[in-house]
Amino acid sequence: MHQQIKAAVAAYGEQVQAEALDLLRTLGRIPAPSHQEDRRAAFCRDWLLEQGAEDVVIDAAKNVVCRIDCQEDRDLVVFAAHTDIVFPDTDPLPLREEDGRMYAPGIGDDTANLVNLLMAGKYLLQNKPRTSCGILLVCNACEEGLGNLKGTKELFRTYGSRIKAFYSFDSKMPGCCCTAVGSHRYRITCQTAGGHSYGAAGNPSAIEILCRLVGSLYDIPLPMEAKTTRNVGRIEGGTTVNSIAQTCSILYEYRSASQTCLESMEERFWQTVDGFRDMGGELTVELLGVRPGNGPVDPAALEALTRQSLEVIGSFCDGEIDTSPGSTDSNIPLSLGIPANTIGTVRGGLAHTREEWIDCASLPAGLGIALSLMLLYTEL
C-alpha cells in the first residue's frame, strides 16, 4: 500500500477515534428492523450533510446514497454498509459498555461497520482528494433476512453497468468474502378439510402431508459441484390435540455458491412439491426471496480486486484472513458479473443475539481498512 496513504490514514484514525466511538453509541441505539430503517437512514443522511456532503439522497428503497464526483461520464465504485439489523425492536436499543467492549443488538452486524464507512467517507468529504472515478457512499437498507438485499438491488437498478467495483463493509475482521452464497426461500402452506380426530378419522391432515413433504425435501440429492445445503427452519399448524389439522405451513430454503446448483435445486424442489398435490390437501407455494449466486465475473478482475483488498487488510491485521463464501450485499454485483468484496472492519462476537458485542479497540484498524480502500481510488 502506498506510503502516503498509510500516513494519511494513521493520522486521521488517531484524530477521530473518540468521535467514531461517540457516533457508534448514537447509531447503536437507533432501531432499524429490515424495511423499517427510516430513522437510521435520516440520521445518516443528516450526518453526511453536516460533514460537507453536497449530493446525498434517500432513495425509494431507503438507501442513503452520497455521491462524490459522480458526473454522468464517469465509472463508479461503491462503498456500502447496511443500516438494518435482525432485531424487530422499534424502541431505542439497549447499549452498554464494559471492559473495552460495547454491547447492543446489531452493534457489530452491521452498526460498527456502518460507522467505519461514515468516518472514512467524512475524510473524503472534508479533504476532497482528486478521485479517479465517481464514488458512491451507500448506507443501504434490507440486507438482513427477508430484506432479501432489496437496497442493493435498487442501487444496481439505478446505476447499473456504471458500477465497476463494489465493497460492502460487513462482518468481522480479518475477513474478505469474494464468493456469493445464493439462496431461494419459500413458505409452503397446506390446507385440508380437517375435522374431529375421531369422528372424521381418515380425513387428510395438513400437518401429516407437510411432514411427509419435509422428509422428501431432505431426501433430495444435493449437487456435488459446490457446497449446497437445504433447511426447513419453521413449521406451524393445527389448533388442538383432538382436531385434524386444517392448515400447516413450513419455511424452506436451499443455498449454494453455484448458480448451477441453485437451478438444479429449484428444479428438484418443484418436482418434489408437485408430487404432493394429490394427497388430499391444497398446496400453495410463496417465494419469499431470492439471493443470487455468482454470475459471469471476469476471474482476473475479481482476483485483482480481492488481492488488493487482502493486501490492505493484512497491513492492519495479523493472522489468517477469512475468505469463506457468504451471503451478503456483494451477491448482487457478483451475480451481475461485477467484482465485489465484503470486508469486515470490526472484531466482536455473538452476532444475531441480543448479547452481541464489539471490541472498541478494533475500530481504528477497521477505519484504516475502509479509508485505505477508498483512497486507492484517489490520486493521493
pLDDT tens per residue, range 338-364: 999 999 999 999 999 999 999 999 999
Q: Cell match 405451513: residue?
A: 249
Please report, for the domain that includes residue 341, its CATH number. 3.40.630.10
What is the arithmetic mean of pLDDT over 45-65?
98
Q: How confident is the model at residue 146 (pLDDT cuts 50, 70, 90)?
A: confident
What is the arithmetic mean of pLDDT over 334-338?
94
* Helix-then-strand count for the chain, H and E: 10, 17
Looking at the structure, do residues 20 and 127 belong to the same domain, yes or no?
A: yes
pLDDT digits (tens, 9 = 90+) for 249-272: 999 999 998 888 999 999 999 999
For the cut 70, the answer to whether the pLDDT of residue 10 exceeds it is yes
pLDDT at 188: 98
For the cut 90, the answer to whether the pLDDT of residue 145 exceeds it is no
pLDDT at 251: 97
Looking at the structure, do residues 18 and 77 belong to the same domain, yes or no?
A: yes
Looking at the structure, do residues 198 and 239 belong to the same domain, yes or no?
A: yes
Of the residues 257, 291, 325, which one is the last residue of a structural domain? Answer: 291
Give which of 156, 172, 136 is closest to 331, Cα–Cα: 156
0.85 surpassed by pTM: yes
Sign of the dihedral defined by the CA atoms of residues 26, 31, 33, 39, in that order? negative
For the cut 80, the answer to whether the pLDDT of residue 2 exceeds it is no
Looking at the structure, do residues 196 and 115 belong to the same domain, yes or no?
A: no
Q: Is residue 225 part of a domain?
A: yes
Q: Measured between alpha carbons, how far is 132 from 147 in angstroms, rounded to an integer?
A: 33
Please report, for the domain that includes residue 229, its CATH number. 3.30.70.360
Looking at the structure, do residues 194 and 145 belong to the same domain, yes or no?
A: no
Q: Measured between alpha carbons, how far is 379 from 195 in angstroms, rounded to an integer?
A: 74
Q: Is residue 380 part of a domain?
A: no
Looking at the structure, do residues 211 and 94 belong to the same domain, yes or no?
A: no
Helix or strand holding residue 45 (H, E): helix 38-50
Q: Measured between alpha carbons, how far is 242 from 236 in angstroms, rounded to an integer?
A: 16
Q: Is residue 330 part of a domain?
A: yes
Helix or strand holding residue 371 (H, E): helix 363-375
Q: Is residue 367 part of a domain?
A: yes
For the cut 90, the answer to whether the pLDDT of residue 365 exceeds it is yes
Quote the cell numbers at residue 62.
431507503
Q: What's the half-sphere exposure (Cβ side, CA atoms, 13 Å) at 265?
A: 31
Q: Is residue 332 part of a domain?
A: yes
Looking at the structure, do residues 145 and 225 belong to the same domain, yes or no?
A: no
Q: How confident is the model at residue 1 (pLDDT cuts 50, 70, 90)?
A: low
* Counted domains in the chain: 2
Looking at the structure, do residues 300 and 256 belong to the same domain, yes or no?
A: no
pLDDT digits (tens, 9 = 90+) for 150-180: 999 999 999 999 999 999 999 999 999 999 9
CA dihedral of residues 141, 358, 6, 318 (deg, nearest 10): -120
pLDDT at 258: 87
Looking at the structure, do residues 204 and 219 belong to the same domain, yes or no?
A: yes
55 Ramachandran zone, left/alpha/beta (phi>0; psi -120 to 50): beta
pLDDT digits (tens, 9 = 90+) for 86-118: 999 999 999 999 999 999 999 999 999 999 999
Of the residues 264, 291, 318, which one is the last residue of a structural domain? Answer: 291
- Return the higher-pLDDT residue of 287 and 295: 287
Range of the domain at 188: 182-291
Q: Measured between alpha carbons, how far is 265 from 182 in angstroms, rounded to an integer?
A: 12
Looking at the structure, do residues 99 and 87 belong to the same domain, yes or no?
A: yes
Sign of the dihedral defined by the CA atoms of residues 47, 148, 345, 25, in that order? positive
Of the residues 259, 291, 323, which one is the last residue of a structural domain? Answer: 291
For the cut 80, the answer to whether the pLDDT of residue 230 exceeds it is yes
Looking at the structure, do residues 68 and 132 belong to the same domain, yes or no?
A: yes
Percent of the chain topping pLDDT 70: 100
Q: How confident is the model at residue 31 (pLDDT cuts 50, 70, 90)?
A: very high
Looking at the structure, do residues 158 and 128 belong to the same domain, yes or no?
A: yes
Q: Is residue 212 part of a domain?
A: yes
